[in-house]
Amino acid sequence: MDITCGIDFGTSNTTVAIAKGNHEPIILVPVEDRHLTIPSTIFFPQENQPVLFGRKAINAYVAREEGRFMRSFKRVLGTSLMKEGTIIGGRKTQFEHIIGPFVESIKNKAELVADQEINTVVAGRPVHFVDGNDKADKEAEGQLEAIFTAAGFKDIRFQYEPIAAAFAHELTMGNTERLAVVMDIGGGTSDFTIMRLSERYIKKPDRQEDILANAGIRMGGNDFDRALSLTCFMPLLGLGSFWGSKGLGFPITPFFDLAELSKIQCMYTRKYKRDLRMLISQSNDKVLTHRLLSIVEEELGHTLMSIVEDTKIQLSACDQTTADLAFIEAGLHSKVEREQFEACIAGSIENIQDTINNCVVMAGVKTADVALVILTGGGTAMPMLQNITRRIFPHADISDGNRLSSVGFGLACDARRYYLGEH
């Protein structure tokens, strides 16, 4: 065996890197045209048409082609939805038949570039797929392992995503040992590793003694999107309005379903739409709730969530922005200030901060001793998280290169060490 790979199957984006041997560099695979990352999305078109992935899936959805668009399916691992499945093209479909083709397409891409079959993989995983439930967490890893096996891998190992990012960083850091914290804030989870790093350690066959602690929480960009959607967008669709002759609050479930990326497609069944229409027939504010109904009936939930996500991303760079919601109604828009966004995610950020502090305690180090913070994952672009990082680790240098590909690259470093016995 002279080739192996690392796959970072992310909630939002996926990368794959291949490793041959010591004398050849690790290659990040152009996984969609020339792009080194592919959005973790899938589009199931009408029958007899090929399934689409990544940007092509997004484009088919945006062009309103007939079919079912899905994203954030990693979040389903270890949850009850994994067993329940979802309806696609009128048929109940299990999530392994949704994640499976996506993983297989990534494997095929890597093999095309390598020009040979690849049988082994180090796959990334969050520290916790599911919080506070070891059994569900184990199940999630087992489900992902079964999916990788079905995709044709003969041997699969898992590595924590932040450890992989540390390996990638280590290749370029020089021979001085530094105590480092990796912070990986992705779409689905926030993961942390405290580890001793040095370029001279790359040759060590076993790194266990250098890894001081890992911690993670199932909270990431998708949760920030949900909070932003519920606070600044859903009230325009009737969240907080009244219902029925007694003037009760309009039920909140449809708004929460519409704000959770991994659940949106569950709203598009005939039954869900019928029930929603019934509910809305007794709404006391039909101008608002008919907007909700039209989004569900026209299956535009992902259009709304991508506007919400864009709003969040813009607020990393500016203090306020206006989201254009003309696709719902001419002239409709939502003006959002960064302060407002930060207030609605304050609870999530506090949980993330607690997770970092726990990691420091578990590692038995002082925050002042941390010399390097490696930021990876799209969420680390958020000013609020960057400020927290500086506050917790005041003496550390901060490195944030390769935010979107360091995990995949580092997984291939690990695969090379494990499967090829090389570094």
Ligand X SMILES: Nc1ncnc2c1ncn2[C@@H]1O[C@H](COP(=O)(O)OP(=O)(O)OP(=O)(O)O)[C@@H](O)[C@H]1O
Cα atoms in the 13 Å half-sphere on the side-chain side of 26: 29
Cα 393 to Cα 221, 355, 387, 397, distances in angstroms: 22, 14, 10, 9
Q: How far is the CB of 404 from ligand X (least distance, A)?
A: 5
Q: How far is the CB of 78 from ligand X (least distance, A)?
A: 13
Identify residues 162-221 at the interface with Mg ion (CB under 5 A). Answer: 186
Residue 410 contact, options ligand X, Mg ion, none, Cβ 5-8 Å cut-off depending on partner type: none
Count of chain residues binding Mg ion (CB under 5 A): 2
Judged by CB under 6 A, which of 54, 78, 216, 220 binds ligand X?
Answer: 220
Q: How far is the CB of 395 from ligand X (least distance, A)?
A: 26
Pick between residue 81 and residue 313 the one whose CB is nearest to ligand X.
313
Q: Is 379 in the site for Mg ion (CB under 5 A)?
A: no
Q: Which distant-in-sequence residues (6+ apart) come within 8 Å of 147 by Cβ?
A: 96, 99, 100, 103
Q: By CB under 6 A, which span of 207-215, 248-256, 308-316, 318-326 interacts with ligand X?
A: 308-316
Q: Is 236 in the site for ligand X (CB under 6 A)?
A: no
Q: By CB under 6 A, which span of 107-115, 218-226, 239-247, 276-284 interacts with ligand X?
A: 218-226
Judged by CB under 6 A, which of 133, 198, 316, 351 binds ligand X?
Answer: 316
Judged by CB under 6 A, which of 309, 321, 352, 360 binds ligand X?
Answer: 309
Q: Is 402 left (phi over 0), alpha (psi -120 to 50) or beta?
A: left
Q: By CB under 5 A, which span of 3-11, 17-25, 32-40, 138-146 interacts with Mg ion?
A: 3-11
Residue with tokens 């790979």: 5
Identify residues 227-266 at the interface with Mg ion (CB under 5 A). Answer: none
Judged by CB under 6 A, which of 54, 162, 379, 410 binds ligand X?
Answer: 379
**Angle 253-9-32 from CA coordinates, rounded to 5°:** 105
Residue 381 contact, options ligand X, Mg ion, none, Cβ 5-8 Å cut-off depending on partner type: ligand X
Q: How far is the CB of 316 from ligand X (least distance, A)?
A: 3
Residue type, position 231, single letter: T
Return d(Cα 398, Cα 109) in angstroms, integer. 33
b/e for 70-88, b at 16 or more Cβ within 10 A? bbbbbbbbbbebbeebbbb
Q: Is 171 in the site for ligand X (CB under 6 A)?
A: no
The contact set with ligand X (CB under 6 A) reads 10-13, 74, 161, 186-189, 220-222, 309, 312-313, 316, 377-379, 381-382, 404
